[in-house]
Amino acid sequence: MGLKEILLRKKPLCIFLQLKDTSKEWYASNLATGCGATYVHTTKLLKEFKKLNLVTLEVKGRVKKAKLTDKGMQFATALGELMLKLEEKEEEKKEQKTA
C-alpha cells in the first residue's frame, strides 16, 4: 500500500497526526481509541508506517510503543500545516455562504 493511499483517509491521518504529540507515549490501543479505529486496524497501519520509515515500533513484552522517525516528524508537520490550511478554506467558504 502506498503512502498516498494510506494517509489520505480519515483514520490513518488521525493516527499519524496523533504521533506528532511527543508529550505522550503512544501505543496502538490509545492511538486507536483517540481516532475511533479498531486496535487491529491501528496495528496494521503502524506496520505500514514502519515499512515507509515514518514510525519506529519499540516492543516491550506485548506492548508496542510507537514514535515518529525524523522523516515521519517532518511529514507529520507538513500534513498538519496542510490540514490547518484546508480547515481555514472550509471556514472561509462557510462564511461566504452565510454572508
pLDDT in tens, the chain (99 residues): 565 556 578 899 999 999 999 999 999 999 999 999 999 999 999 999 999 999 999 988 888 899 999 999 999 999 889 888 888 877 887 788 776
**pTM (global) more than 0.85:** no
| Residue 17 and residue 56 in contact, taking contact as beta carbons nearer than 8 Å | no
79 Cβ contact list (under 8 Å, min separation 6)? 7, 13, 16, 17
Cβ neighbours for 18, distance < 8 A, ≥ 6 positions apart: 26, 31, 34, 35
Residue 89 cell numbers, joined:
478554506
Domains of the chain: 3-98 (1.10.10.10)
Burial class (CB in 10 A: 0-12, 13-18, 19+), 64: middle
- How far does CA 72 lie from the centroid of its chain? 10
